[in-house]
Amino acid sequence: MEALLRRLPLGASRGLGEAIGRCFFALVPYERRKTIATLAAAYPQAGPDWARRTAADVFGHLGRSGAEFFRMSDLDDAGLAACVAELRGWEHVQPQLDAGRGIVFVTGHLGHWELLGAWTAQKMPVAVVARQLYDDRLEQVLLRRRRAKRMEVFSRNTNVRPILRWLKDGKALGVLADQDTGVDSLYVDFFGRASKTPSGPAVLAQITGAVLLTAWCLRRPDGRYDVEFEAPIPVPARGEGGAMELWPAVQEYTRRTEAVIRAHPGQWAWNHARWRSPIDRPSTGWDPRLAEACEASMRAWRDAGRPALAAVDGA
């Protein structure tokens, strides 16, 4: 399939990828039901027809993005740049580069996160944190293609020292932080629900002094993408507050993630069981003794009108 996608014209390979994604949605009941259920939980007023249509769009988008990923290594820098229609927010990034400061980019399984990494790697040294796949052959394909676009790869749940050194050397790290996983997490509000969310990006920024930013790569109707970098998120110096010191930062990048998903619901991977871990039960990366503190923080944040955390440009 990879060989076919690479031989076809780009438009045809995109169309084939989308068709494969939509066929997968139609033919795999478990994934279809899970995706529709997650959408219905986030949008209870939207109705089942909307949830089903949006779920089908999600799989079409994922299939199309997958086809583009396999074509990406065939593009030179000019071809990669041509995929991006508009760049916004670079003024939040350039001062950090000029200062030689490390950057932690938080994004999600939204739009085309692989293109975001490859495009950014044209501008600065970029590494990504990736989960090791069960299929070693696919793992090696992904690794080769990421490195072909000048991206370094750190496996999740491995020695953190190389990542800390990378950031302290003034380089950039991309992290997906929008799923319920087995990494260190806090519970924050996401679509009105208590949601187990990776806290690692904020931890890394706090330890290394790196800047914490959010970044997105979103598909336009014409098939090209808009790349956007948002203002830095405040990260406190390490004190005596433990994990909860970073709760506001984790809530802020989650709030931003939700806002972008609401604007582009067909471009997020809703097939993930986002709310599978109850806050009052232990799970990998989560200590339920923090549940009361997280719940109190969520209540206070909601009562305050779900405010944005003040950005810190120039920090």
In a domain, 235, yes or no: yes
Residue 103: inside a domain = yes
Q: Are 189 and 256 in contact (CB under 8 A)?
A: no
Percent of the chain with pLDDT over 70: 95
> Are both 115 and 259 inside the same structural domain?
yes
Domain identity same for 7 and 152? no
Would 276 be classed as within a structural domain? yes
Same domain for 169 and 192, yes or no, is yes
Which of 49, 72, 95 terminates a domain? The answer is: 72
- Is 29 a domain residue? yes
Indicate whether 54 and 175 sit together in one domain: no
Residue where a domain stops, chosen among 27, 45, 72? 72
Q: For the segment 14-53, what is each residue's pLDDT rounded down to a tens digit? A: 899 999 999 999 999 999 999 999 999 999 999 999 999 9
Tokens representing 34?
A: 């899970």
Within a domain: residue 181?
Answer: yes
Say if residue 158's pLDDT is above 80: no
| CB-neighbour burial class of residue 159 (10 A; exposed 0-12, middle 13-18, buried 19+) | exposed
| Per-residue pLDDT at 2 exceeds 70 | no
Together in a domain, 141 and 58: no
Does pLDDT of 306 surpass 80? yes
Distance CA 175, CA 185 (A): 14
pLDDT tens digits, 81-93: 899 999 999 999 9
**Is 315 within a domain?**
no
Does some domain include residue 278?
yes
Whether residues 174 and 288 share a domain: the answer is yes
Q: Report pLDDT digits (tens) over 133-157.
A: 666 676 677 777 787 788 898 887 6
Range of the domain at 2: 1-72
Of 170, 299, 182, 193, give the one whose Cα is nearest residue 254: 193
Q: What is the mean pLDDT of residues 188-210?
A: 97
| Same domain? 45 vs 149 | no
Q: Count up the domains in the chain and report the number.
A: 2
The model carries a pTM of 0.94
Q: Do 114 and 54 fall within a single domain?
A: no
Pair 64, 90 in one domain: no
User: What pLDDT score was predicted for residue 72?
Assistant: 80
Last residue of a domain, one of 72, 104, 122: 72
- One domain for residues 253 and 192: yes
DSSP string spanning the chain? -HHHHHHS-HHHHHHHHHHHHHHHHHH-HHHHHHHHHHHHHH-TTT-HHHHHHHHHHHHHHHHHHHHHHHHHTT--HHHHHHTEEEEE-GGGTHHHHHHT--EEEEE-SBS-HHHHHHHHTTTS-EEEEEPPPS-HHHHHHHHHHHHHTTEEEEETTS-SHHHHHHHHTT-EEEEE--S--SSSEEEEEETTEEEEEE-HHHHHHHHH--EEEEEEEEE-TTS-EEEEEPPPPP-PPP-SSGGGGGHHHHHHHHHHHHHHHHH-GGGB-TTS-TT-S-TTS-BTTB-GGGHHHHHHHHHHHHHTTSPPPPP-TT-
Query: For position 226, what pLDDT does the model report?
Result: 98
Give yes or no: residues 274 and 162 share one domain. yes
Residues 257-275: tens digit of each pLDDT: 999 999 999 999 999 999 9
Assess whether 227 and 139 both reside in one domain.
yes
